[in-house]
Amino acid sequence: MIALMIETLVKFAVVVGGLMTAAAYLVLLERWIAAWVQDRRGPNRVGVPLTNIKLFGLGQPLADGVKFIFKADVTPRHVDRVLYWLAPAVVMAAALCAFAVIPFGSVLPDFLPADWGVEEPIRLTVVPALDVAVLFVFAVGGAAVFGVLLGGWASNNKYSFLGSLRSSAQLISYELPLGLGILGVAAAAGSLHFNEIIARQADSGWWNIFVQPLGFVVFIVAAFAEASRLPFDLSEAEQELVGGYHTEYSGVKLMMLLVGEYLHMITAAFLIVIFFLGGWHFWGLTDGVDSPGGDVVAWPAALARVAVLMAKVLLVILFFMLTRWSWPRFRYDQLMNLAWKVMLPWGVLNIVVVAAAIEFAGRWAAAWGISPAAATALAGWVALALAVVLTAWADPTTADNRPLRIPPALRGSSDET
Amino acid sequence: MKPDDPSISWVEPPELGLAGKSYLPLFVQGLTTTVRHLFSPKKTVEYPEQDHEIPDPIIYRGVHRLNRDEQGRVKCVACFLCATACPAHCIDIVAAESPWPDREKYPQTFTIDELRCIFCGMCEEACPVDAIELTSLYNLSGKSREEMIFDKEKLLSIYDQTCQAEPSRTQRSDS
C-alpha cells in the first residue's frame, strides 16, 4: 500500500513537473514559430538571469512567469468574487486531471528489489489501472467548460460573457464529433484503455490513421475546436472580444487560465497520438520481447517508447502551432455548420465503415487477396474520398443568411458587371 | 431602398468549384506558405549589435547637420527660411552681421530642439544655400532634455562626422 502510494506520488511529481515545464516552454516555442512564420526572429535575448549569456532566449519562460506573478492581481469591483476566483482553479484542475490516466510512456523493465513490494513492471501512467480511461478524459475535458463558463459569467463583462457563450456552445457541439472519432478507435481496439489501444496498433503495425483516415480527420478537427485553437478560437477572438472569457483577469489568475489552455492543447496532442498515430510505437524501434506491443521490454525499447511518444506529441503540437498561422478563423455559423453538417455525418460514416470492417474484413481480405488490416484500410480510404467528394458536391456549409435576397428577376445578371 | 431597386448592383461571390468546396487545396496552400516562411531568411535586425542598413543615406531623414563651405565656415546665411518652414518650431536662429565679405548675415547662434523636431525635412527643402541637411544618423538619444538641444557647434560637428560618407548636396551636384 505504502509502496503503491510512493510510486504514484513519484509519477505524479514527474507528470506535473513535466507538464508545467512543457507548458512554459511551449509558450516560448509558440512565440518562436509565430515569429519565424512572420519572418521575424522571436524571443532570443533572455538567457541565464543576471549574466549576459543569451542561450537563444531559453530563459524567456522564467521571465514570463516572474512577470505574471509580480503583476497586480486586480479583482474588479463588479465581479462575482467566489466564481471569479473559482474559474481559474477549475480550468487548471480539469486540465491537470486528464493527465492522471494519459500514459507518458509504456512500461519500465523490472529493476527494483523484490522486497520493496512494488508491483512490477511499473507502468508510466499515474493511474494505470483505470479501465475507462478514455471516458475519464472526456468527463474531465467536459468539466473544463465550466471554468470557461464561470470565468465569463463571473466577470460581469459583456465581452467575457460573449466569449464564454461562444466557447461553451462550441465545446458542446464538438464533443459529438470527438466522441464519434473515438468510437471507431475503441471499437477497433475493443477497449477503453489507453495502453490497450496503443498495444493493438503496435501489434498489428497498422496505426489507426492508416486504417481509419476518416475518423482521424473528424477527431483532429474536433480536437482543435476543443482546445480552442485557431482556426476555431472564436471564444477569444481578439478582434471582436478583447480577450474573450479572460478579459477581466490579470496576474496569476490569468496565467492559470492561459496555462490551462496550453494543457488542453497538450492533452489533445497526446490523444491524437495515442488514438491515431500509434502512441509509443515505431516499427522495429520499440518492440517488446514477446510481441511488438508486449509489456515485457528491455531497457532500450522501454526508453525508445518514451522518446517516440514525446517526439510524436511534439510534432503534433508543432502542427497545432503552424495551423494557427496557416488558415483564417472560421465565422461562427461556419463553425457550427462544420460541426453539425460535416463532422457529425463523417463520424457516423466512419463508425459504419469500421463496424462493417470488424465484421467482414476477413471475408473482404479473402475475396481481394490482401490482409484483413489492408482491407480495412482500403475501406477507410474509400470512405474518406467518398465523404470529401460528397461533401464538396452537396456543400452543406454554405448558407446564404443575408437579410436581402437577390430578386428572381435580377438573378444571374451580375455576370455582366 | 427595395431589393429590386435598379440602382443596386448585385454581386455574387465567385464559384469555388468542387476542389475549393472540399477545402483541401486551400488547406495545402496555407500550410506550404507557412512552412516556406518558417525557413525563409529573417527580415528583422538584431539592433544594438547589428546596425540597420539604410538603403539610401542621402534621402534618409535623421539628425540634422550644418554644412561648412570650402573654407570651413558655416554655410548658413541666417535667412530664417528653415525656421519659418519648420512645422514644429524647433529651429531658433540669432542672426548677426557677417564678418565675411561674401554675405550680409551669418548665424550667431543656431539651435535645434531635437525633441520637438518631427524629422519632416522641410528645413532641408527650404534652405536656399543647402546649409542645413538631414543625415542618416538614427540612433539619437540623450540623458536629459538640455542635452537634446543641439547648438551650432554640435550641428557643425555632425557635419564633420558625416561629410565623408554623405557629401552635401552642392558637392554631389559638382560630381
Could you tell me if A345 and A218 are in contact, meaning their C-beta atoms sit under 8 angstroms apart?
no
Give A4-53 pLDDT, tens digit per residue. Answer: 888 888 888 988 898 888 888 998 999 999 999 998 888 888 878 777 77
Q: For A131-145, A166-180, A237-251, B104-118, which range has the lowest pLDDT when averaged over its residues?
A: A237-251
> Where residue B148 sits, what CATH number does that domain have?
3.30.70.3270
Whether B135 maps to a domain, the answer reads: yes
Residue A140 pLDDT exceeds 70: yes
Residue A312 pLDDT exceeds 70: yes
Whether B42 maps to a domain, the answer reads: no
Task: Supply the pLDDT for residue A400.
Answer: 63
**Chain A hits for B40, Cβ within 8 Å:** 39
Instruction: Please judge whether A39 and B11 are an interchain contact, meaning their C-beta atoms are less than 8 angstroms apart.
Output: no
Tell me if chain A has a CB within 8 Å of the CB of B1.
no
Nearest CA in chain B to A318: B35
Tell me if chain A has a CB within 8 Å of the CB of B34.
yes
Residue A92: alpha-carbon gap to chain centroid:
15
Instruction: Please judge whether B12 and A388 are an interchain contact, meaning their C-beta atoms are less than 8 angstroms apart.
Output: no
Q: How far is B142 from chain A (nearest CA, A)?
A: 24
User: What average pLDDT does the structure give for chain A?
Assistant: 84
Whether B89 maps to a domain, the answer reads: yes
Nearest CA to B140 out of B34, B65, B78, B33 is that of B65
Task: Supply the pLDDT for residue B175.
Answer: 42
Task: Supply the pLDDT for residue B118.
Answer: 92
Position A48, amino acid? V
Residue A382: alpha-carbon gap to chain centroid:
26
pLDDT bracket for residue A371 (50, 70, 90): confident
- DSSP track, chain B: --TT-TT----PPPP-HHHHHT-HHHHHHHHHHHHHHHTSPP----TTTSPPPPS-TTT---SEEE-B-TTS-B------HHHHH-TT--EEEEEEE-SSTT-SEEEEEEEEETTT-----HHHHH-TTS-EEE-S------SSTGGGEE-HHHHHHHHHHHTTTS--HHHHHH-
Whether B172 maps to a domain, the answer reads: no
The highest-confidence range among A122-131, A148-157, A361-370, by mean pLDDT, is: A148-157
Tell me if chain A has a CB within 8 Å of the CB of B42.
yes
Question: Residue with C-alpha cell 453538417?
Answer: A341
Question: Residue with C-alpha cell 543615406?
Answer: B57
Q: Quote the pTM value.
A: 0.81
Which DSSP helix (H) or strand (E) runs through A81?
A: helix A81-97
List per-residue pLDDT tens for chain B, 175 residues long: 776 777 877 777 777 777 777 778 888 888 899 999 988 888 888 888 888 888 888 888 889 999 888 888 888 898 999 999 999 999 999 999 988 888 899 999 999 999 999 999 899 889 888 889 898 888 888 899 999 999 998 999 998 888 887 777 766 654 4
**Chain B hits for A389, Cβ within 8 Å:** 18, 22
Share of chain A above pLDDT 70, in %: 95
Nearest CA to A129 out of A306, A256, A8 is that of A8
B/e letters for B92-102, b = 16+ CB within 10 Å, e = fewer, are: ebebeeeeeee
Q: Which 3 state secondary structure label does DSSP give A110?
A: coil
- Total domains, chain B: 1
Query: CA separation (Å) from A117 to A2, A71, B142?
Result: 9, 48, 71
Task: Supply the pLDDT for residue A317.
Answer: 92
Task: Supply the pLDDT for residue A416.
Answer: 45
Task: Supply the pLDDT for residue B116.
Answer: 92
Task: Nearest by CB to B43, from A39, A327, A407: name it.
Answer: A39
Nearest CA in chain B to A408: B4
Whether B126 maps to a domain, the answer reads: yes
Nearest CA in chain B to A43: B46
Position A391, amino acid? T
Residue A356 pLDDT exceeds 80: yes
Q: Which 3 state secondary structure label does DSSP give B113?
A: strand
Task: At B110, give phi and psi (nearest 5°).
Answer: -145, 105
Instruction: Please judge whether B42 and A391 are an interchain contact, meaning their C-beta atoms are less than 8 angstroms apart.
Output: no
Task: Supply the pLDDT for residue A404.
Answer: 59
Residue A182 pLDDT exceeds 50: yes
Q: Distance between CA atoms of A188 and A190, rounded to whole angstroms?
A: 6
Cα end-to-end distance, chain A, whole Å: 81
Nearest CA in chain B to A325: B34
Q: Distance between CA atoms of A198 and A354, rounded to whole angstroms?
A: 17
Pairing label, strands B149-150, B91-97: unpaired
Nearest CA in chain A to B46: A41
**Residue-number span of the structural domain to which B113 is assigned:** 64-162
- DSSP track, B16-44: -HHHHHT-HHHHHHHHHHHHHHHTSPP--
Task: Supply the pLDDT for residue A127.
Answer: 79
Task: Supply the pLDDT for residue A318.
Answer: 92
Whether B94 maps to a domain, the answer reads: yes
Nearest CA to A268 out of A316, A311, A301 is that of A316
Give A44-84 pLDDT, tens digit per residue. Answer: 888 787 777 787 888 888 888 888 889 888 888 888 888 88
Task: Supply the pLDDT for residue A231.
Answer: 83
Count interface pairs A-B at CB distance under 8 A. 67
Give A216-241 pLDDT, tens digit per residue. Answer: 999 999 998 888 887 888 777 777 77
Task: Supply the pLDDT for residue A408.
Answer: 63
List, as ranges, residues 46-75 from B with C-beta within 8 Å of A: 46
Tally of CA atoms within 13 A in the half-sphere of A127 that contains its CB: 12
Question: Residue with C-alpha cell 493511474?
Answer: A127
Average pLDDT over residues A272-284: 86
| 3-state percent breakdown (helix, strand, coil) of chain A, nearest 5 | 70, 0, 30
Task: Nearest by CB to A410, from B4, B43, B46: name it.
Answer: B4
Task: Supply the pLDDT for residue B117.
Answer: 92
Task: Supply the pLDDT for residue B172.
Answer: 66
Average pLDDT over residues A366-378: 83
